[in-house]
Amino acid sequence: MRNPVPENEWTLLGKVVRTLAPTFKPRTNIHVPATTPAEAPTTERGEYLARYVANCVGCHTQRDPMTYKSIGPDFAGGIEMEPLPLPGADMGLWFTSPNLRPAAGSALSTPLAKHS
């Protein structure tokens, strides 16, 4: 049986991604723990969830837009996000991720470990 496969048809966005793709490098500095911390209210479990499961650090840490390397303290917020073009959305209203770092003397005053 023969099934003719048509040539690729690239949209403008597809052409841009295809052209720029070789400049992006995969992140190599991610070191996920070999074992999952116990399901208990511990700093280790919270750190594991915030870094590797929910990836809170991804949006709540300022990053270089080209390399995605951290350019600010972990969980300190500051990434600007443009609004989604949804009906009724104010396209001029951008969102900045908030600072999740604990305040000194608060219930969340345990310092966060610095990961590179």
Rounded to the nearest integer, the mean pLDDT of the chain is: 81
Task: Please state whether the predicted TM-score (pTM) of the whole model is above 0.75.
Answer: no
Least confident of 8-12, 40-44, 54-58, 109-113: 109-113
pLDDT at 26: 65
Domain boundaries, the chain: 37-102
For residues 18-38, one letter each, b for 16 or more C-beta atoms within 10 angstroms of the residue's C-beta and e for the rest, the string is eeeeeeeeeeeeeeeeeeeee
